[in-house]
Chain A
Amino acid sequence: MYIIGENIHIISEKVKEALKNKDREFFMDLAVKQVEAGAKAIDINLGPRKKDWAEVFPWIVETVEAVVDVPLSIDTTNVDGMEAALQKITKSQPILNSTSAEPERLEKIPLLAKKYNAKVIALTMRSEGIPVEADARVTIAVEQLIPRMMEIDLPMENLIIDPLVLTVSGCQQYCPHLIETVRTLQYAWDPAPSISVGLSNVSNAVPNENRPLVNRVYLAMLMGVGLQMMIANPFDEEQNQVIQWIETKDVSTPLAKVYNKIAERTENSEEPQMEDFDMSDPQQAEIWKTTQILLNKVIYADSYLMN
């Protein structure tokens, strides 16, 4: 699993504070720790920085590249800021996060990727919004995103499609569709583009104590259909454990077996069955309930584990 570490994100109060103080140590430390925890790239989301982009984007690139060699994912809606960051990058091939099928972004961002030999994440989203159905999202990739890259001669290996994970709390019906989108996108073109998702979006607005569980179960399903890249928190040890179990097909413990079974069922286009779980084990019972929520079989509620 190629994890793009998500922790340098302006939504975090600590990051906000550190940015205000131009605290180089903080960002260096956070970058190094993510790489040590297994992140293969580092996402940098400091917002659009409308006023100080010319200063902030080069500064953060220089700061982070001083301590790590991995690719940086420049995560902003500010195209000028993106270019300012690209000009400063000296180490690995960067990632632009992101374009979509919205005309203005699809016009500009891939050209930047081309000019600076960057990879580009492209969201299956149009100006009208995000379609629910898997087919419609694949269609956006095949009819708009991929053709645009071909039009400007951007190599397919530089395209990463993000089919957009949405939260189970409020957009529950999208969750099973996303799984099918990830499955289908791998066969949508030859050579296949890479696919990446923002995993923790699935548990947005879910109470904090349940978020890691929701993320892990969804991850097992997505790995079942072949997901190999995601923007995620590399410090989540239980998540990393699940990745390892599924990647090595390790079934040596009851939990390892259960997560592998979820991946296997999803791979075979089957639904997890109650008999796959030892319901007398509270952890397994919680995982079962979480599969039912994510597959839109049972209506989500914050206290769904009590149901």
Chain B
Amino acid sequence: MPIEIPKDKWAGSIKAITIGATSAEGGTRAKAVTVGGGTTMPYLQFEAPTPNKPVIAIEIKSRKPEDWSPLLAEVWGEAMADSAQWAKKAEEAGADLIVLALTVEDNPEDAVKAVKSVLGATGLPLIVWGPGQAEKDNELLVPISEATKGERLVLGICEDKNYRTIVATAMANGHLVQARAPMDVNLSKQLNILISDMGMPKDRILMDPTTGALGYGMEYGYSVMERLRLAALQGDAMTQFPMIVTPGFEAWKTKEAKVGEGVPQAWGDWKARAINWETLTAIALIESGADVVVLRHPESVKRIKEAIEELITA
């Protein structure tokens, strides 16, 4: 007996958003990256094809991070001390995008220089994060935004306590913003409303629902993302933005990934475990609708790329 597979038809869809601008579009990127555009729950290819596959950003820092796992220091080596070198290696490792995370030690001049050197070293579109302190973020991101006008960078991270300055400078200089809320659908939507209300065009917002690592709240983040996606498909314009998530940051914070000594022997090989942690976190989030995943280890990038291909062609 033939079985008819039931198909959902949704009223809404995820917005397709382009990060980075080529010279034809007023920037200097070798190519731009488009994410989002989905019209179904993720990867239900029998309902509708996935218009843009999820992309991988590799996170690098403006200064050599002292608190990252030795496993990351081992694989990136000397490049960690030079963001241009690091960006180049990240591109070689398969990144679709670069995330450059600034630090509190940076002054505006250093920060602009770091951004420019990364833009010079690679043709990939760029996401720039402030160090995560409101005043410092604004102090660094405003000059960067002005110095890179037209590049369609993503500037972040906007949170409810500090979004106005970042949004205003992004609007004025043709960039995008990353809007983060603490794993809560109501607060995610609220921040999107506030940012849109400032006049930010709707094709220039990425939402960041906040990620929990495997074993540390990942399933909670997963259901928040699922709910946002469902609301978007039902037609709620304020949840229809592509999602960016940070499994690299979250996974490498966990004891399981970070520490190689003083843990039970049954936990097995440290490196294998750490990469598994990052990979499993990332793939789960992709399956719940993430459009941009920010990773740290090149081996995770390789595995996630393969997994994405399988999801797309399945």
Q: Which residues of A contact B (CB under 8 A)?
A: 169-170, 172, 297-304, 306-307
Ranked 7 nearest A-B pairs via Cβ: A301-B190, A301-B189, A303-B193, A299-B231, A299-B189, A300-B186, A302-B190
Q: Which of B186, B194, B197 contacts A299 (CB 8 A)?
A: B186
A301 to B228, CA, bound (A): 12
> Does B202 have its Cβ within 8 Å of any Cβ on chain A?
no
Interface residues of B in 163-190 (CB under 8 A from A): 184-187, 189-190
Chain B residue numbers with a CB within 8 Å of A303 are 190, 193-194, 197
What distance in Å separates the Cβ of A166 from its nearest Cβ neighbour in chain B? 13
Secondary structure class of chain B's binding surface, majority of residues = helix
Q: Which residues of B contact A (CB under 8 A)?
A: 184-187, 189-190, 193-194, 197, 227-228, 231, 234, 236-239
- Closest B residue, CB atoms, query A305: B193
A302 to B259, CA, bound (A): 41
Question: What number of A-B contacts does a CB cutoff of 8 Å give?
Answer: 40
Q: List 17 additional A-B contacts (Cβ < 8 Å) besides A297-B234, A299-B185, A299-B228.
A: A169-B186, A172-B186, A298-B231, A298-B234, A299-B186, A299-B239, A301-B189, A301-B190, A301-B193, A302-B186, A303-B190, A303-B197, A304-B189, A304-B193, A306-B197, A307-B189, A307-B238
- Closest B residue, CB atoms, query A292: B236
Provide 14 A-B residue pairs closer than 8 Å at the C-beta atoms, listed in order of the A residue: A172-B186, A298-B231, A298-B234, A299-B186, A299-B228, A299-B236, A299-B238, A299-B239, A301-B190, A302-B190, A303-B190, A304-B193, A307-B189, A307-B193
A306 to B234, CA, bound (A): 18
Chain B residue numbers with a CB within 8 Å of A304 are 189, 193
A161 to B184, CA, bound (A): 32
Chain B residue numbers with a CB within 8 Å of A301 are 186-187, 189-190, 193, 238
Chain A residue numbers with a CB within 8 Å of B185 are 299
What distance in Å separates the Cβ of A91 from its nearest Cβ neighbour in chain B? 44
What distance in Å separates the Cβ of B189 from its nearest Cβ neighbour in chain A? 4
